[in-house]
Amino acid sequence: MKTRIISGAVLVTLLVALLAVSVEYSAVMFIACAILSAIAVYEALYTTGIAKNKAITAVGCAFSVLYILRDVLGGLLPALFLKYANITNTEFLTVLFVLIQFALYLKFHKDIKLHGMLGMIALPIVISYAFFGFATLVIAGSALLYVVLVFCWSAIADTGAYFVGVAIGKHKMAPVISPKKSWEGLIGGILSSLLVTFGVCMLYQNCFDIKVSTIGILIATPIFVLIGVMGDLTASLIKRKCEIKDFGRLIPGHGGILDRFDSILMISAAFATLIEHISFMPGGTSFSL
């Protein structure tokens, strides 16, 4: 428990410092997310054994880095090069990645089952999209509002669900996948998230003088809490199917990147997609994935 608390505190400190720097230098967040995404792809493919092949895993990691850093690279590479080989184009990157992975599957098909072939293509794309979504949330609003909301819907909801579940949880929500989760805990997590989210909205409006669509955010809160729970349960299901305890050992007492970012990534992907079309900050910065 002591190791878990210390590593958790270090992780939070590093994240706060990273967010503070990224407010001024957005490229830093994209670089950090590219590194984390590559590690997560390694965990999802190699550690789980879904596609335990170094070449396939390396291609997945490389795709993840290029996908997230495509805008950063687009500003650094010569225009003439991009004209004839635009590796910063999302569709080009994705198609090239899929073709390479198919070719590698044909070469190593004796060692990789059909579900492994599906995983080695789908997982890097999903993980990369989620991390890119998180990075864009940093620059999408004012004063990191969208990132704060993500943590209200993930960390706060998870904490509330834990304490309520321990206190009065009796009806198991997913007994096979995650025996400790209860319906009472889920309700407690949603209520906790709603309370803290409302406080955050009031803080931004009254202290930072930033216009916030409070009602819209509160309506969205239960939906995103449920999306976060889906991410958590999905990660737990993958681990059970692959018969592993954790995705990695990078964070002492917590496991790997996917163990700590499972619900955050699911929420970030959905939230980043939503705010392409709906703004929770009138006059806020818009962007496109």
Domain ranges of the chain: 25-140, 143-289
Whose tokens are 């054994």? That residue is 49
Q: How would you class 123 by CB atoms within 10 Å of its CB: exposed for 0-12, middle for 13-18, buried for 19 or more?
A: buried
Whose tokens are 């709603």? That residue is 194
Q: What is the per-residue pLDDT for 106?
A: 94
Total length of the chain: 289
Answer for the pair 218, 229: CB distance below 8 angstroms, yes or no: no
- The pLDDT of 157-170, averaged and rounded, is 93
Helical (H) or strand (E) element with 180 = strand 178-182
- The whole-chain average pLDDT of the chain stands at 89
At 258, the amino acid letter reads L
Q: Which residues of 241-266 are buried (b: 16+ CB within 10 A; e: fewer)?
A: eeebebbbebbeebbbbbbbbbbbbb
Asked whether the predicted pLDDT for residue 148 surpasses 80, the reply is: yes
Q: What is the per-residue pLDDT for 286?
A: 46
- The pLDDT of 24-47, averaged and rounded, is 94
Least confident of 37-46, 136-145, 150-159: 136-145
Q: What is the per-residue pLDDT for 113?
A: 85
Asked whether the predicted pLDDT for residue 284 surpasses 60, the reply is: no
Whose tokens are 């216009």? That residue is 211
Query: Model confidence at 144, in pLDDT bands (50, 70, 90)?
Result: very high
Whose tokens are 């993840």? That residue is 64
Query: Please, what sign has the CA dihedral across residues 118, 246, 234, 135?
Result: negative
Q: What is the pLDDT of residues 173-214, one digit of tens each?
A: 988 898 889 999 999 999 999 999 999 999 999 998 899 999
- The pLDDT of 280-287, averaged and rounded, is 62
Q: What is the per-residue pLDDT for 8?
A: 76
Q: What is the per-residue pLDDT for 282?
A: 72
Least confident of 58-72, 126-140, 224-238, 241-255: 241-255
Q: What is the per-residue pLDDT for 168?
A: 93
Give how far Cα 1 sits from Cα of 165, 178, 194, Å: 19, 20, 29
Query: Please, what sign has the CA dihedral across residues 166, 170, 171, 176?
Result: positive
Q: What is the per-residue pLDDT for 283?
A: 57
Q: Which of 224, 235, 217, 209 is nearest to 268 (CA)?
A: 224
